Structure 1
Amino acid sequence: MLTSNGYVLSSGRLGRLSEVPQRERGDREALRVRLERDGYLFLRGLLDPVEVMAFRLYYFERTGVADAHGVPQVVDPGELRRVLFGEVVPGAQYQAFCAQPALRSWYEWFLGGEAFLHRRKIIRHIAPGEAGIGTATQAHYDLVYLREGTDQVLSAWIPLGDCPVSLGGLTYLEGSHHRVLREEAAGTLKRPAASITADLPGLAEEYDSRWLVADYAAGDVVIHTAHTVHAALDNVSSSMRLSTDIRYQLASTSIDPRWQSHWHDQDGL
């Protein structure tokens, strides 16, 4: 049984995320067609798992939220915030991980030009048993938060370690970007954040669609458009879920200035 914010996802509204097949990995035009069609690119093994696991260990050692095996530990909330927002988020290790050649070079190849990494980079740890509205990332599409720049921002969701569905990884609403694009163009959205909700089952019914899930592995990356609706599942395992989501775009396109400061949970975005 899969849940998100305590809501049970119906088996009839679930599907599997489609991996980019190996024959398309080096075909930029095929990938662009796939991204336009699906709203995401599920790239298995884009990153070196050794580097992913090294950063995972660094994060757990610095914050103390889990041991080397991902087993949750008790930490002082004040000290955690000091380390997370004062050391880890603005630190050289996090920057190097997010700008590593395997990632930046892929973006530059795919975009066809110099890639710009937004400074506001988000890293999340989710402990087992955290459920109820407000715990897992609610359904949304990224343009809601990035309206002062180009809408051609491409987000990368990166599981920092193996992440089976029980650990609470990201889930995507199949084909949702097509409806979002139509509504954005027509100006028919009730308000800028109208699509945000914790009720994933209800949203799947409204869109007549399925939530797509996957068992992710260290090294996997999912690239998605700014119009693709996504959310997170609840962590029903016994380990800490760790992930990061970052955003790249062409450096020559309009950049949202609000995203050029380091992420903080009180930054209002």
Structure 2
Amino acid sequence: MLTSNGYVLPPERLGVLAEVPRRERGDREALRKRLARDGYLFLRGLLDPAAVLDFRRYYFEATGVADSRGVPAEVERGELRRVLFSEVVPGAAYGAFCAQPALRGWYEWFLGGETFLHRRKIIRHIAPGEAGIGTATQAHYDLVYLREGTDQVLSAWIPLGDCPVSLGGLTYLEGSHHRVLREEAAGTLKRPAASITADLPGLAESYDSRWLVADYEAGDVVIHTAHTVHAALDNVSSTMRLSTDIRYQLADAPIDARWQSDWHDRDGL
């Protein structure tokens, strides 16, 4: 049984996230057509799993929120916030991970030009057993937070370690970007907006769609458009879920200036 913010996702509203087949991985035009059709690209093994696991170990050692296996540990909240926002987020290790050649190089190849990585990069650790409203990322699409730049910004969601569905990885609302694009063009969506809802089953009914899920592995990356509705599942495992989401775009496209400071959970975005 899969849940998000305590809401049970019924089997008839669930599907499987489609991996990009190996035969398409080097075909840029095929990938662009797939992204336009699906709103996401699920790239298995884009990153070196060893690099992912090295950063995972660094994060847990620096913050103390879990041991090397991901088993949660007690840590003083004030000290955690100091380390996270003063050392880890602006630190060299995180910066290097997000700009590693395998990732930046893929974006440059796919976008066909010089790329720009938004400085506001978000890293999340999600402890097991939290299932109330507000504990998992609610349904939203990224453009609602990035309206002052190009709408062609592409997000990368990266599980930092193996992430089966029981750990509460990201889930995507199938085909949702098509409806969002239509409503954005028609101006029928309220602004400003934040999350759409915590009620994922209700939203799937409204869209007559399915939530797509996957068992992610270290090295996997999911690229999604700024119009694709996504959310997170609850972590019902016994270990910590660790992930990061970052955003690249073409360097010569309009850039949202609000996203050019290091992420902080009190930055108002």
C-alpha distance in structure 2 between counterparts of 1:196 and 1:189, whole Å: 10
C-alpha distance in structure 2 between counterparts of 1:174 and 1:132, whole Å: 24
C-alpha distance in structure 2 between counterparts of 1:26 and 1:52, whole Å: 22
Which stretches in structure 2 are left out of the alignment for 5+ residues? none
Q: Report the counterpart of residue 249 of structure 1 in structure 2.
A: 249
Which stretches in structure 1 are left out of the alignment for 5+ residues? none
Q: Report the counterpart of residue 170 of structure 1 in structure 2.
A: 170
- The alignment status of 1:86 with 2:61, answered yes or no, reads no
C-alpha distance in structure 2 between counterparts of 1:133 and 1:44, whole Å: 31
Q: C-alpha offsets along residues 7-49 of structure 1, whole Å, 9 cap, x if unaligned?
A: 0001100000000000000000000000000000000000000
C-alpha distance in structure 2 between counterparts of 1:64 and 1:199, whole Å: 32
The letter for the 2-side match of 1:74 is E
SS at match of 1:116: strand
SS at match of 1:222: strand
Q: Report the counterpart of residue 131 of structure 1 in structure 2.
A: 131
Would you say the 8 A contact 2:145–2:194 is kept in 1? no
- The alignment status of 1:52 with 2:52, answered yes or no, reads yes
Q: CA deviation at 1:131?
A: 1.2
Q: Report the counterpart of residue 42 of structure 1 in structure 2.
A: 42
C-alpha distance in structure 2 between counterparts of 1:111 and 1:53, whole Å: 27
Would you say the 8 A contact 2:164–2:215 is kept in 1? yes
The letter for the 2-side match of 1:54 is D
C-alpha distance in structure 2 between counterparts of 1:193 and 1:208, whole Å: 22
Q: Report the counterpart of residue 95 of structure 1 in structure 2.
A: 95
Q: Report the counterpart of residue 15 of structure 1 in structure 2.
A: 15
Q: Report the counterpart of residue 198 of structure 1 in structure 2.
A: 198
Q: Which runs of at least 4 in structure 1 moved beyond 6 Å after TM superposition? A: none
Aligned length: 269
Q: CA deviation at 1:195?
A: 6.0
TM normalised by structure 1 equals 0.99
- The alignment status of 1:119 with 2:119, answered yes or no, reads yes
The letter for the 1-side match of 2:88 is V
Between the two proteins, what is the percent identity of the paired residues? 87
Q: Report the counterpart of residue 187 of structure 1 in structure 2.
A: 187
Q: C-alpha offsets along residues 238-261 of structure 1, whole Å, 9 cap, x if unaligned?
A: 000000000000001000000000
